[in-house]
Structure 1
Amino acid sequence: MRRVVVVGAGPAGLAAAEKALLAGASVTLVDAADQPGGQYHRMLPEAYAARYPKRLHHGWDSFDRQRRFVLEHRRCTWLSRTSVWALEKLDDGPPSVQLLRGGVDGEGRTRETIRPDALVLAPGAHDRVLPFPGWDLPGVHTAGAAQALAKGERIVVGDRVVVAGTGPFLLPVAASLLEAGSRVVEVLEANSPSTVSRGWLRRAWELLPQYGKALELAEYAVGQLCHRTPYRMGRAVVEARGDGRVEEVVTARLRPDWSPVPGTERTVPVDALCVGHGFTPQLELFVSAGCTLRDGFVQVDGNQRTSAAGVFAAGEVTGIAGAPAARAEGAVAGWVAAGGDPAAIRAERRKRDAGRDFARRLERAHPIGAAWPDWLRRNTVVCRCEETSYGDLQAALTQPAGSGSRAVKLGTRAGLGPCQGRVCGTNVAELSARLGGETASVHNRPIAQPIRLGELAGQPEEETR
């Protein structure tokens, strides 16, 4: 019996675990959260005893059936509150998986090692936020964090909230905040109506397989209308102001390249701001495993295999395409990883291919404008962990030995803080390239998750096949 380890229990990972079980494999499903679902199906704690959990989720019934099937299956081992801190390459086959069992920053965590026959990695992605003056003020949140608090804890980030950035994800974030009790003052999409429409409506009939996503977005739009929440396009937050926390934001109309149009600034009083400019895939484990990357994502073949032996990838690490595409990719990866015949899952492969088309449209409809650095001032923080400013970055790149990525990192400490460049890495790399410096991979971290020296020194419990 093949042993398949699935890392990540979001839509992709849960689908991979289900298909691997159906193909006859033994499955170990690993996730840092208490419950499966990922960000898309983030659940309230069991102690809340939610009577109507489906109110917070699309497709709850099918998700709940899938979740119960996986967790209750006799060949499935569910490891919650467990992080993969490293992968160790072996001479042949997939790498061994180094685990930390226990809550994040908790005491008494234990190390374990698992050696799988096949490894499916579905770690997902995290919010990308572009810096602007005041983005480091308390009360400024990533869109994903605000939604996680609303869906997972019923906590609102503020009473008067502006949601800004780009992409359709802004709508469900606003809906979660409204449902939890916030007043969403307005939703700002940075791209213009012409850019968005060109991206989505070209060869529009090809979107028919994604009609479910269209219905979901229509539902969010109707909800915004019911709450009379304005949705403004071609406009962005270019500054946040406040004494000790955010109290107001300055918005401006943008040109197609995202440079602000002078004279269009408007000040809006708020007590919270939620910002999201797309997503950055979590690629640390793939880099450790030696997987080939292409255009910022993991390169896979038609069966979701990566270039590393025995390693499969599924979900937003192969392209940002939403939950339906992630589920289809996970199903293909789990089935093939367990030794199933790829010809038996043609329907899932077709859904996967439609999802890839959706990802390409999403990228065209909601691009990041090249002129976003025009929002910055010399004292604007670009690395919040180390309080590195845009001026510090500019100064480092003017030094004789400062153009190399390592020299910039050591000279400014950008990317050396607690987040290890997950928030600032992509932005600092783009800014360095714009200023004439070198760029390097922001995902090359052999230690993917924080681990204490005492935990690292301890002897791991090894779990063999």
Structure 2
Amino acid sequence: MTSERPHLAVIGAGPAGLAATVAAASHGVRVTLVDASAEAGGQFYRQPAAELRARRPQALHHGWRAWELLRDELRTHVRAGLVRHLSDHHVWCVENRRTGAGPGFTVHALLGPEQQDPAEVRADAVLLATGGYEKVLPFPGWTLPGVVTAGGAQAMLKGTLTVGGRTAVVAGTGPLLLPVATGLAAAGVDVAALVESAAPKAFVRRARALAAEPGKVAEGARYAAELLRHRVRLLAGHTVVEAHGAERLEAVTVAALDPDGRVRPGTGRRILCDTLAVGHGMLPHTDLAETLGCRLDGPDVHADDEQRTDVPGVWAAGETTGIGGAALALAEGHIAGRSAAARLHGTEPDPDEWVAATRTRTRLRAFFAALDAVHAPPAHWTEQVTDDTVVCRCEEVTGGEIRAAVKDLGAADLRTVKLLTRAGMGWCQGRVCGPAVAGLTGCGSTASRRPFARPVPLGVLARAGETEDLEWNP
């Protein structure tokens, strides 16, 4: 009977979560796939709303065939009663219930746009595929309307088929800037410039490691060709110094960087635009893993060769174990799903079943390690943050207040800075401003160990544990 099969909860329906779900279900495990979005796919496979009736949504994507295969396999398993897909469920906590019979887990989620109705899923094991989020470093004017994250601009284009304005500048650093710039240009936006802080020499120094993944190099070349076709000006080794505007964004000033990562005096130029899409790389979502007590390696969740964390019964795959793109997430999800299925059935997994995925994982991890080194933010970016620049948007804490907490009040760690200035006490709980505060203070980032992964109404907390497990209807 289906109800007698072991039960795996997969959190996140992006590439890693989808790959893990279909792999585990294919090996006879019941899977509950829990995701905050209305549709599966995550940010990478984000689809336009059905009401928009997009004729060619594949035009906004590459790797469309991989998405179709995953989508079809997921639907097949849902129809067979092996998978239930809980969309629009926002997970705020995963509870580890250890008993004499072994580990068990309760996934606590909030349902719907209002995120009020509590829901619980009880499972034998949990697989975390929670993805990543953008790192944005502040600069004067970055809070103006019209300044968005690079991923935000991409999500708006993919999900709503809309753009923020007529003239855009795409800036920061990282491989995400290329698809954002080309996507906006293809949608009819005049992309005035792609401002990349990494200098060409940085790519030359890592040429051997980057060339080891020719498919990714070819992908980058295709984006470069698109930039040329749309006449997008590339300003490598440059950074945004300031965004200008009265009521909303009207222009940005960009300047060249010297080899040490400082702005070269006298190189500033003003570019007129009404949209600035800016990003400085990605960070893994680790809140749920930290709550469960999983070990971190730097910012990433530690996982072994089977994608197991050091907490029994918990697997992790995709960006949460290290930023590396969709192809790496698919490989890790495939390995994690097969490993979880074998372990839940009480057998030793056969690594021969995922040899191809292991090879892909090894290659892509090396490639993205080199790419991450190339796309490090400018070493002296904090020098461009004035004392009047808002750093924590939730609590409106300025760079001057943060610096004063260290210099005048003796704060020596991020927690003390937070207590003295309220930086990081707002709605995002420091997820946005955390890297900036760490950079300005010189304090190293530390694991947050937040008890909850998102804000939770007090009424939901009061009823926690009283909610019945969501009924399984195969």
> TM-score scaled to structure 1, two decimals?
0.94
Question: 2: CA distance between counterparts of 1:298 and 1:170?
Answer: 25
Aligned match for 1:429, one of 438, 441, 460: 438
Give 1:323 deviation, angstroms: 0.7
SS at match of 2:217: helix
- Deviates further, 112-121 or 399-408: 399-408
**Contact 1:397-1:403 at 8 Å conserved across structures:** yes
Q: Deviations over 1:109-133 (max 9, x none)?
A: 4222222222110111111111111
Is 1:322 the counterpart of 2:331? The answer is: no
Structure 1 residues 284 and 257, CA gap change in structure 2 (3 angstroms): farther
What is the SS of the residue equivalent to 2:469? strand
TM superposition shift of 1:407 = 2.4
RMSD between aligned alpha carbons? 1.7
Give the distance between the partners of 2:351 and 2:313, measured in 1 at CA: 15
The 1-side partners of 2:202 and 2:425 are apart by: 36
Q: Which amino acid aligns with 1:455?
A: V
Structure-2 residue corresponding to 1:202: 208
Question: Using a 3 Å threshold, how does the CA distance of structure 1 residues 429 and 172 change in structure 2: closer, same or farther?
Answer: same
User: Where does 1:33-432 land on structure 2 (aligned, <5 Å)?
Assistant: 33-73=37-77, 74=80, 75-91=82-98, 92-103=102-113, 105-106=114-115, 109-199=116-206, 201-203=207-209, 205-208=211-214, 211=215, 213-339=216-342, 340-400=349-409, 402-432=411-441
- How far apart are the structure 2 equivalents of 1:398 and 1:165? 29
Gaps of 5+ in 2: 343-348
Cα distance per residue 1:71-108 (max 9 Å; x no partner)? 331211000000110121222425321121222x35xx
- Of all paired residues, the percent bearing the same amino acid is 43
Please identify, of 137-146 and 369-378, the stretch whose mean Cα deviation from structure 2 is larger.
Answer: 369-378
After TM superposition, give the deviation of residue 443 of structure 1 in Å.
Answer: 3.4
Instruction: Tell me the secondary structure at the aligned position of residue 321 of structure 2.
Output: coil
Partner of 2:320: helix, strand, or coil? coil
Q: Tell me which residue corresponds to 2:22.
A: 18
Cα deviation, residue 27, structure 1: 0.8
1:222-257 Cα shifts (integer Å, max 9, x gaps) = 211111111110001110111011111010001233
Shift of 1:401: 5.3
Mapped contact 1:165–1:189 kept (Cα < 8 A): yes
1:454 Cα deviation from its structure 2 partner = 2.1
Q: One-letter code of the match for 1:6?
A: V
Pairwise CA distance, 1:366: 1.1
CA–CA separation in structure 2 for the residues paired with 1:381 and 1:94: 44
1:38 alignment partner, SS class: coil
| 2:222 alignment partner AA | E
Would the alpha carbon gap of residues 397 and 286 (structure 1) be closer, same or farther in structure 2, given more than 3 Å must change?
A: same
Shift of 1:205: 4.9
> What SS class does the counterpart of residue 202 from structure 1 fall into?
helix
Secondary structure of residue in 2 paired with 1:93: strand
Which segments of 5 or more consecutive residues in structure 1 lack a partner in the other structure? none
Return the TM-score normalized by structure 2. Answer: 0.92
- SS class of match (2:123): coil
Cα distance change of structure 1 residues 60 and 254 upon mapping to structure 2, 3 Å threshold: same
What corresponds to 2:9 in structure 1? 5
Counterparts of 1:220 and 1:440 in 2: how far apart (Å)? 34
The separation in 2 between residues aligned to 1:150 and 1:307, in whole angstroms, is 39
Taking the aligned partners of 2:139 and 2:447, their CA distance within structure 1 comes to: 21
Q: Which residue identity does 2:208 align to in structure 1?
A: R
Residue type matched to 1:157 in 2? G
How many Å apart are 1:406 and its aligned residue? 2.5
CA contact 1:3–1:118 (8 Å) conserved in 2 = yes
Q: Which amino acid aligns with 1:275?
A: V
| CA deviation after TM superposition for structure 1 residue 311, in Å | 0.7
Deviations 1:17-65 (A, max 9, x none): 1111111111111110111111111100111222222111112122112
